[in-house]
Amino acid sequence: MTSSTETVSTQDIIDYATRLGDDAIVIGHRLSEWVSKAPFIEEDVAIGNVSLDFLGHARMYYTYAAEVSNKQNGTDDVTEDTFAYLRDERQFQNHLLHELHKGDFAYTTARQLLVDVYNKYFLEQLEKSNDATLAAIAMKASKESKYHCRRSKDWTLRLGDGTSESHERMQVALNDIWGYTHELFELDELEQRLVDAGVAVDCTTLKADWLKEVTAIIEEATLTVPDQDWAVRGGRQGYHTEHLGHLLTEMQFVHRSFPGAKW
């Protein structure tokens, strides 16, 4: 990452940390929907673990955003929960991939493979951020994401190269999800400013490694990498699929029913 003499705007840091928190909370929430519904109990426990990891990442990003925000505004009442519970659909800036519905176990597996491999490369870069807090969060999250990658790879192989039904379900899932991956590798102005300042990850540079690794796993699983032509974008601008609104409705309902209450 290039270092720069430009000073970084604290609002940019808040926004960037919030986005990363949004990605983590939304996928963590989706995974938690599997608890008591997994194909067998060991998986209820294992998916719960991965979900907890993402919740943990979300809390670290949001807590950081809250700290910077309180410092900037001379307040003390912004917390991790302010970001998770008191923002609406248009304000959430997670990548669309994370919010797509839970789907069947193949859908969850396919999505998770794409997310986990992305995170592995992303966090490796974020560890080098010249923002010390973000670098420290990345360091911690990075260890977990390596385990997530192994797990997702194992499941992709089992399902892709398992029975004809599981193969078919995996291929359908990959085809339905693939178009949401392109925006993972794009920068908007905010991120470009932070890349220039050595704070954010230049995610455009991650695509080649990601594609190579994901392709190798998909092919080993006897599946086919979907065609590259369709692409849906908009998460970072709050332009979401209809899935997110329902997720937030459920997640925020109790919190919002009791304004100002502590839990």
Partner 1 sequence: MAEYNKSEAELEAVFQQKIDSEQKIEPKDWMPEAYRKNLIRQMSQHAHSEVIGMQPEGNFITRAPSLRRKTVLLSKVQDEGGHGLYLYSATETLGIARSELIAALQSGEAKYASIFNYPAQTWGDMGAIGWLVDGAAIVNQVSLQRTSYGPYSRGMIRICKEESFHQRQGYVIMMELAKGTPEQKQMAQDSLNRFYWPALMMFGPHDSESAHSAKSMKWKIKRETNDDLRQKFIDQTAPQIAYLGLEHPDKDLVWNEEKGQHDSGEIDWEEFYAVINGNGHSNRQRIQHHVKAHEEGAWVRDAMSAYKQKKSQRKINADTAA
Cβ proximity of 177 and 82 under 8 Å: no
- Residue 58 or residue 141: which is nearer to partner 1 going by CB? 58
- How many other CB atoms are found less than 10 A from the CB of residue 259? 7
CB of 42 to partner 1, least distance (A): 7
CB of 165 to partner 1, least distance (A): 5
Q: By the criterion CB under 8 A, which residues form the site for partner 1? A: 25, 29, 32-33, 35-45, 48-49, 51-52, 55-56, 58-59, 62, 80-81, 84-85, 104-105, 157-159, 161-163, 165-166, 169, 250-251, 253-255, 258, 260-263
- How many other CB atoms are found less than 10 A from the CB of residue 96? 23
CB of 233 to partner 1, least distance (A): 27
- Residue 50 or residue 206: which is nearer to partner 1 going by CB? 50
Task: Give the angle 158-32-149 at the CA atoms, nearest 5°.
Answer: 40
CB of 148 to partner 1, least distance (A): 16
The 3-class secondary structure across 214-228, one letter per residue, is HHHHHHHCCCCCCCC
- Residue 74 or residue 260: which is nearer to partner 1 going by CB? 260
CB of 246 to partner 1, least distance (A): 10
Q: What distance, in Å, lies between the first and last C-alpha atoms of the chain?
A: 41
- Residue 44 or residue 176: which is nearer to partner 1 going by CB? 44
Q: How many CA atoms lie within 13 A of 133 on its CB side?
A: 14
